Amino acid sequence: MWVPVLLKSLNESDLYSMGLQIPVEAIYDENHASIKDAIVLFGGGCTAEIISSQGLLLTNHHCGYSQIQSHSSLTRDYLKDGFWAMNRGEELSNPGLTATFIVRMEDVTDRIEAEIATRGMAAYNAITTSIINEELDGSKVDEAVIKPFNYGNNYFLIVSRTYRDVRLVGAPPSAIGKFGGDTDNWVWPRHTGDFSLFRIYAGPDNMPADYHADNQPLVPSYHLPVSMKGVEEGDFCMVYGFPGRTEQYLTSNAVEFVMKELNPFRIGMRDASLEIINAAMLSSDLLRIKYASKQSDIANAWKKWIGQNQGLQETGALHSKYELEKEFRMRAKKVAKEGYVAALDSAIALNEKLEPYYQARGAYIELMFYGPELLSLAAEFDNLIDDFDKLTEEQRFTQAEALIRVARAFYKDYDLQVDKQLAMAMFPLYSRAVQDELESPLMLRYASGSPENSIGSIYTASVFADSTRLIPLLLKLGKKQISKLKQDAVFQLAGSINDSYANRVKDRYAAINGKIDSFMKIYVKALQELFPERVLGFDANSTLRLTYGKVEGSAPWDGMEYVWYTTAKGILQKYKPGNPDFDLPDKMITLLKERKYGPYAHGDGELRICFTGSNHTTGGNSGSPALNAKGELIGLNFDRSWESTMSDILFDPGRCRNIMVDIRYVLWVIDIYAGAGHLIKEMTLSRKQTEGPEMGMISAPG
């Protein structure tokens, strides 16, 4: 996961030897339009790319899923039927959705370290603030952050620009965008059309602006040309995006804790919640729509963790860690660097001390972010209730209005009986995972399951359980109503859980982690010194990165070899009428059976659906463009094979494969299936092998 600003110095020769046919500067350039100007951080958690001169944005269906769901109802079921704006006026706004471009990145390690040497680490925040202010030079549209890389061995300044008017343009039905569902998630072979389309709008100066009817489509400095030729096995392939987090340098005992304690607990929590939510979604279309996005979020990591544990066990990750640490100690002692050994030993000891806090943190996240939702709604009222006496009448009114909006949005996708079942299933699991001294006293009481502390009773009695009780209370908000909210059992439980986490877990977790990082900084730098024969990259940290490899299949199991691409034939083979994962629209079946592929078939006459490559990807790379040697768009990254999910901790290029949907299948769905050919006309298509991008920016190196 290479840092783009370092490609010229670190990767140029390797990129050309792998097959790159454009200058490295065409990938990243601060002073001229380059591919990086088409890469977007989508909504804070995915990647997207600009594919037209009119701000058209391509990302995954699962990245746009919550927006598609938010616009869906029983009368307009965009999840089931898909959505296509046939003109600009039909494009749908998405409050809160953002698209962020990277203006530039700069290695500021020397500047930071020089200032720290003079002023001390305590001045770090003041140092970074000063550098950021100097670099922004009063800009009102750009933002900047300085991020530590490599456990603080390196620092990069990242200047970005965020657009706030992003509208939904098109999405296939879930039978295409989520074809295979949870059954196929994280596995190969895959036949999923995992894409959706949005458009960025800007103010009259082409700068970021809040939503307004007069805003115009963004005119980007660069957009990706689209290859109509496709790819063949062994072709060079690169993926450009915002990978979230990898942990390739974890110590042996930290890996063991993840495998044997943390992952099994998290999987168990999600087993319980998915059993309830899946049954509810099958019971009615209304619940299916309400819980579609939530179920997708919960199931995605659940299946990943299962595959991650299997992969780590299968590849002997623990043994590899033990052997590395053994060799590290020998090499360090050989060159009389006992301080390096001490740093490793200290990190190992602190990781052991971190474990109960790490487990409690994981349990808190599972319960409060992916568990019963009434707790999270009640927690929204904490500031209003605590500060009520200090607020003016105007401030009280403003906060009450804001909470009414929150509540109305909440109840749109909420079901009390489903939520109650989640609480009853998850409270005991949470309580068993968290040490008593770290847990909320109220949770201990409710998780016990005794009749006098019934979870069902607090749900029934709570004012938060019913919009017809909560919203009228907020409309006439006064001290009497605040007192009622304050005494509410769900509000008290949410507050007790949050307070216990803040006071007993959060700070201690952060403090121990900070100490671990200080020793890991020494350890990782020592690895680079003591193992010069190894190429050691930076862990992902949600910043812009490039990964490159080859288009290729894999043979992860004895006697089994995976072909590197799939075709439309496989969609029909998997088709199961009435099955929520494998059903298909009638139109789709007809088009595929009649082989109406239009100009989007491969040279062999087949419509290719997905392909795999040996690119190192992780969460956050969802929606990242897959690019060929000329920088043309050949596919859309959306997943890894199940055998690859351990790559966040241990990347094995012989085993790990990322999964991409072929861009020609995307175009086929847009044009032939949906009849939205006007969107294709916006794009720049490259049709011949010898034909480069039609934008006049990139040329092959001399």
What stretches of 157-284 show up as alpha helix (H) in DSSP? 174-177, 181-184, 252-257, 263-283
Tell me how far apart the alpha carbons of residues 61 and 82 are, in angstroms, rounded to a whole number. 11
Phi, psi torsion values for 469, nearest 5 degrees: -100, -40
Q: Of the candidates 341, 51, 365, 331, which has an alpha carbon nearest to the alpha carbon of residue 200?
A: 51
Residues 6+ apart with CB under 8 A from 316: none
**62 catalytic per annotation:** yes
CA distances from 201 to 40, 55, 170, 204, 479 (A): 14, 7, 15, 10, 44
Tokens of 459: 């749900």
**Secondary structure tally for the chain: helices H, strands E:** 27, 22
Tokens of 433: 């995972």
Among 62, 223, 602, 616, the one annotated catalytic: 62
**431 catalytic per annotation:** no
Among 34, 496, 500, 622, the one annotated catalytic: 622
**194 catalytic per annotation:** yes
Please tell me whether residue 453 adopts helix, strand or coil conformation. Answer: helix
CA distances from 135 to 24, 213, 685 (A): 25, 33, 38
CA distances from 641 to 400, 553, 650, 656 (A): 47, 11, 14, 7
Q: Show the CA angle centred on residue 382, arms to residues 378 and 387, nearest 5°.
A: 150
What's the start-to-end Cα distance of the chain, in Å? 27
Q: How many CB atoms lie within 10 A of CB 272?
A: 19
Tell me how far apart the alpha carbons of residues 230 and 664 are, in angstroms, rounded to a whole number. 7
Among 29, 165, 184, 194, the one annotated catalytic: 194
The residues that are catalytic are 62, 194, 622
